[in-house]
A and B are shown apart, each in its own frame.
Chain A
Amino acid sequence: MWEYTDKVLDHFHNPRNVGLIPNPDGVGEVGSMACGDALKLTFKLGPDGRIADVKFQTFGCASAIASSSALTEMIKGMTLDEAAKVTNNDIAAFLGGLPEQKMHCSVMGREALEAAIENHRSGGKVKHLLDGKVVCTCFGVTETEIERVIRENRLHTVEEVTNYCKAGGGCGGCKGQIAEILARVAGAPPKPEEPAPPPPPRLTNIRKIQLIQETLDREVRPMLRQDGGDIELIDVDGNRVLVSLRGHCAMCRAAEFTLDGVVGPKLREFVSPDLVVVEEKV
């Protein structure tokens, strides 16, 4: 049995804005019967250019229905530019959270919204956006979509990617490719359209070392210990952080991924964005 919040259950039992708008200004259809969930979103703009009415039809489980219902409530009254900024996280947050394995329901909501806006802006020409190379053929998920959910939700594992966009959840044949995309994207800088983070305060060297040590203790070590490994801070030279992997991690072939995919991003997030992590080989 899934742990659904009261808000999810409320939107499932009493879905808002069900149906189809005749002669809509935008239609977005995503998902399919085969995928196990599908959403058709229609909206009508008011004279002020804001979304005056929006309705949905959803085939899917409780969280798919609740995500669709929540989305319609959220975007009513928004301009299309405002609506285009709604992320799957916003939908999940509106519902008080979704079970991890059901996050793809919120992603489906965001995709349908995007498709509907696209449809409107193309004058009704574009029906469905499938952008980039298809990675997961079972569920028809593209590389672009996978990269996007990784970035927007700060995903680190293949399992998380599957939870968020279903890729890899069918035959599993594309899991290797997803891991490659993860390795490539996880350390990449945020997308340019996102507001740039405020410049970090200048750190004294002592404070920087302190922060690095704290971040390793809090964010990294517990994760490595689960796999029987450990990490030690050797030295900090300017923006170069010299570490050494211990235990299982020292012998692990995925160590490079651990450094580039986990340690680096954590240190850049919590300490300073210009840090480079280097492994000291014993």
Chain B
Amino acid sequence: MILSRVADALYWMGRYLERAENTTRLLLVTEEMVSEVIGLDEGAARAECSELRAIFPGIDASDEVPRPTKAMAQAALYELSIDAAHPHSIFFSLKKARDNARTVREALTIEVFVSLNETYRELGGYTRRQIADLPSFRDAMAATQRGILSTAGAIEQTLARDPGWLFLKLGESMERVFRTTVVLRAKLPELLAQEPKVDLPLFYTRWRGLLRGLSSLENYRKVHGARMEPADALQFLLFDPHTPRSLRYGTSAVKELLERVSGTSQLSLPARIIGRLAADLAYQGQDDVLREGRAIPFLDHVLAELTRCHDTLSTTYFGT
């Protein structure tokens, strides 16, 4: 068993580290797609940018797309990557992860801390001018993603599977499933409303973008092949039992961790909340949820339950 303050810090370290990785990937994927399709369909490019705003509220992506060559607003790229003052920037998340790690270094290994610290310092070394240059921006994002993945590797390879580790992984899993839900909630209305009109390739590109943004495209192909069917993609992101960023996998990961944290046959309140949600995703009729008009309310329900689970686990274990 472990200090409540330490558990709290490890949970948030896990959340922020995962958030930093998610933001990096979404930013990379969105920027690449927007750059590619801006000349083909400016409206679609705009929509991609404004969806980012729904995922990360408060960024300045509204009046972007000034010229085809500067596809995404530089302000948005800057804000979401290295702007230390912006609460959705990768740098902000990495700093939060590192600040939390610094307060609980005794609960981590040197490998974990050094890897996180190096990643943070490397991203902090980029200037606004470098970020404005797209190839160097992509380099920065790729380096950051590598850094975060090696930190995750250090966590996997070196940390004891003690209660501290459980809370770290709990934060990571919670953030991951939460982020998938938020991304789906932001992107689905536009994607589902669109009929595969004139430009079929673009339509599929956007669906592929959704899967890539949730690092699930390759996993999707293994199950469904290269053919992109919106219904299959949606089913995959919600209900696939094996891909780590599906809602079903994510909720059952949180459920397993909370059951281990809970420790007794008497499950804690957050464990029961997530347990019911995981059961819904595993056993509920999938066609029911995927029927027209049902997916969005279902995602709202998932978001509400995840929030309730987070709140109750904070009061139960961190005394906050």
Question: Is B a genuine binding partner of A?
Answer: no
